[in-house]
Structure 1
Amino acid sequence: MAGHIQDRWYKTETDANGKTVRVRTDRYGKGLRYRARYIGPDGTEKSKSFPDGQKRLADQWLAHIEADMSRGQYVDPAASRVTFRQYAEKWLNTQTTDMTTRESVESAIRGHAIPYLGPRPLGSFKPEHIRDWLSELEKAVPASSYRRVIYNNVSTVLNAAVDDGHLSKNPCHAQSVRPPS
């Protein structure tokens, strides 16, 4: 397994007879009881806490993490909390295309994507959010060719987020998302 579940309310000790017994800790009855811990691919320990009576949920969460790691689809929880605005700003600053292309991409993303998608954390993106945004974009930008350019720029930013491990898959590539024609 990718990690283990720690019960923070009880610890195991050996008594005078050599038997192992469970003993209450100082934390008994206070705070979240279970802590699921694992070592991420980057070598750092990650954890998530669960309340009393939710050990099965902690086991499921840990199994899900292990499955994601084995499939190569693991996304660091901290990386998935980065907002679209934060990531897009960073992405824009690292572009190495010619200046006119950079300016038009920056204008499209800052003017039409960041105002709507900006505050959303990357890890929470679903195809429905892209469909909603495209609906709003259709109201704001009448030219479908320009909407297509904006959509392609956003899809490129989200592709980079997938490559950088902030997102497991690009929601623009879902079958239910139809790019502007």
Structure 2
Amino acid sequence: MTKRRFGRVRKLNSGRWQARYPAPDGIDRPAPETFATKTDADRWLVNKEAEILSKRWFDPARAATPLEEFAQSWINERPGLRPKTLVLYNGLLRNHIKPHIGKRPLNELTPPELRAWRKSLLDGGLGPVTTAKAYRLLRSILGTAVEDRMLEFNPCYIKGASSEKSPERPTLTLPEVYRLTRAIEPRFRALVLLAAMGSMRFGELAGLQRRDVSLSRGVVKVRQAALELPTGALRIGPPKSDAGMREIYLPDLVAGDLHVHFELYVKPDADAYVFTGAKGALLRRSNFQRSWRKAIRKAELPLNLHFHDLRHTGNNWAAESGATLADLMQRMGHASTRAAVRYIHTRDSRQRELAERMSEHLIADLNGAAVEGRDEDDGGAVPALTGT
């Protein structure tokens, strides 16, 4: 009888056959099921050996880890996560992943089950953007499980499911912005103007200090931002990304309001915060919302207008004023072109102006060429342009 090269099989009292093999982790492991014939058990061992030799073997015990346990460890072990990102990941896991599929073992998650999970989020009223964030987080978590040899493949592969397609947000005209500044509490007038004309985020404005603003130059330096945690605690830290550390040059239009604001509401210390509540405390988004909602109603603006839409408005103004993609990325504080490129769109009138300027430029070049190449016979006439 030929000695078996890999693993072994034996017949059980039940008449079925069991297969066992030496796993790469040094443990003698049984097949997860028994087999009707010795041939079936032998065939299973051949496939298992091929898995190990091709580095496709994964630990079945670790693969049975509940998703919620592995996901929480994944978040806790991510190096360098910013506080806001940490809050986002924990919130997505707690609210949208754990309640539905958190108890499921990793190796039992299937593509159909994850499709059904995603559909249940959307059918339950969760917005498409948040659903995409949750799906993208789960895909990253399970991708690490594949890298750790806990899964053979990632079951998250719904095409486009992780792409965020935010609905177009409203933008304001300059008269509407000023109508809003007249409707809001005077201490927040400059806040609205900086958000719109400086394309600044709420957290960046809340973290702004006197030392960060040069009134004489009309320049704001963004070096930190305020983040309100779910616990209610406020944390001052670096901006959303490294690209968020930037200098913003403000239109002269805002200079007068900014001077008045500093005279009335900002203490003389260099580390005094530029925007605070009525009692001098750090500005909180949760408290500011009351003033914001009251102001947009008074100004008769859309009730779905968000404070962040002022930044969207400012980005559009900058693009329409001729800002290049690089200009927008710098102003917005983005390292990627993805967010900035959406603002590089123009009105038909601007396209007409561009066409006219191109025509003037080309005719000037053509005239120059005609002058250089003319002779006494043609009198220097501009050659006709004909199609071929």
Range of TM-score over shorter length:
0.7 to 0.9
Instruction: Report what 1:166 is aligned to.
Output: 150
Structure number, greater radius of gyration: 2
Q: Secondary structure of 1:35's partner? A: strand
Matches within 5 A, 1:30-45: 34-45=17-28
Q: Retained in 2: the 8 A contact 1:83–1:122?
A: yes
- Whether the 8 Å contact between 2:67 and 2:101 is mirrored in structure 1 is yes
Does the C-alpha gap of structure 1 residues 100 and 170 become closer, same or farther in structure 2, counting only changes over 3 Å? same
The one-letter amino acid of 2:161's match is: P
Kindly provide the CA deviation profile for residues 6-53 of structure 1, in whole angstroms up to 9, marking residues without a partner as x: 3256xxxxxxxxxxxxxxxxxxx3x67533222222222212376574
Q: Deviations over 1:42-95 (max 9, x none)?
A: 222212376574323322321221222233221111121111112112212212
What TM-score comes out, normalization by structure 2 length? 0.38
Higher relative contact order (CA 8 A, sep 6+): 1
Q: Distance between the aligned counterparts of 2:137 and 2:73, measured in 1? A: 14
3-state SS of paired residue (2:7):
strand
Task: Indicate the residue corresponding to 1:98 in structure 2.
Answer: 82
- Residue 26 of structure 1 is matched in structure 2 by none
Kept after mapping to 2: 8 A contact 1:33/1:49: no
- 137-146 vs 43-52, which moves further: 43-52
**Equivalent residue, structure 1, for 2:113:** 129
2:10 equivalent in structure 1: 7
CA distance in 2, matches of 1:151, 1:52: 38
Question: Greater shift after overlay, 163-172 or 92-101?
Answer: 92-101
Shift of 1:170: 0.8
1:149 pairs, out of 130, 133, 138, with 133
Structure-2 residue corresponding to 1:77: 60
CA distance in 2: counterparts of 1:168 and 1:110, whole angstroms: 26
CA contact (8 A) 2:111 2:155 kept: yes
Structure 1, 128-137 or 140-149: larger mean CA deviation: 140-149
Aligned amino acid, residue 119 of structure 1: K
**Structure 2: any 5+ residue segments left out of the alignment?**
164-388
Distance of 2:33 and 2:117 partners within structure 1? 34
Q: 1:110 to 1:126 in 2, by over 3 A?
A: same
| 1:72/1:147 CA distance change after superposition, 3 Å | same
Q: TM-score w.r.t. structure 1 length?
A: 0.75
* Cα distance between partner residues in 1 of 2:154 and 2:74: 15
**Cα distance 1:119–1:60, how it changes in 2: closer, same or farther (>3 A)?**
farther
Gaps of 5+ in 1: 10-28
Q: Is the 8 A contact 2:58 2:149 kept in 1?
A: yes
Check whether the contact 2:109–2:155 (CA below 8 A) recurs between aligned residues: yes
Name the structure where strand makes up a greater proportion of residues.
1
Find the residue that maps to 1:64 and give its secondary structure: helix
8 A contact 2:11–2:18 mirrored in 1: yes
Share of identical aligned residues, percent?
Answer: 26
Alpha carbons of 1:86 and 1:69: their partners in 2 closer, same or farther (altered >3 Å)? Answer: same
Q: Which residue identity does 1:41 align to in structure 2?
A: P
Tell me, in whole angstroms, the C-alpha distance in 2 between the residues paired with 1:2 and 1:147: 50
Q: How many residue pairs end up in the alignment? A: 159
- The question of whether the paired residues in 1 share the 8 Å contact of 2:18 and 2:31 is answered with yes
Report the CA distance between 1:120 and its aligned residue. Answer: 1.5
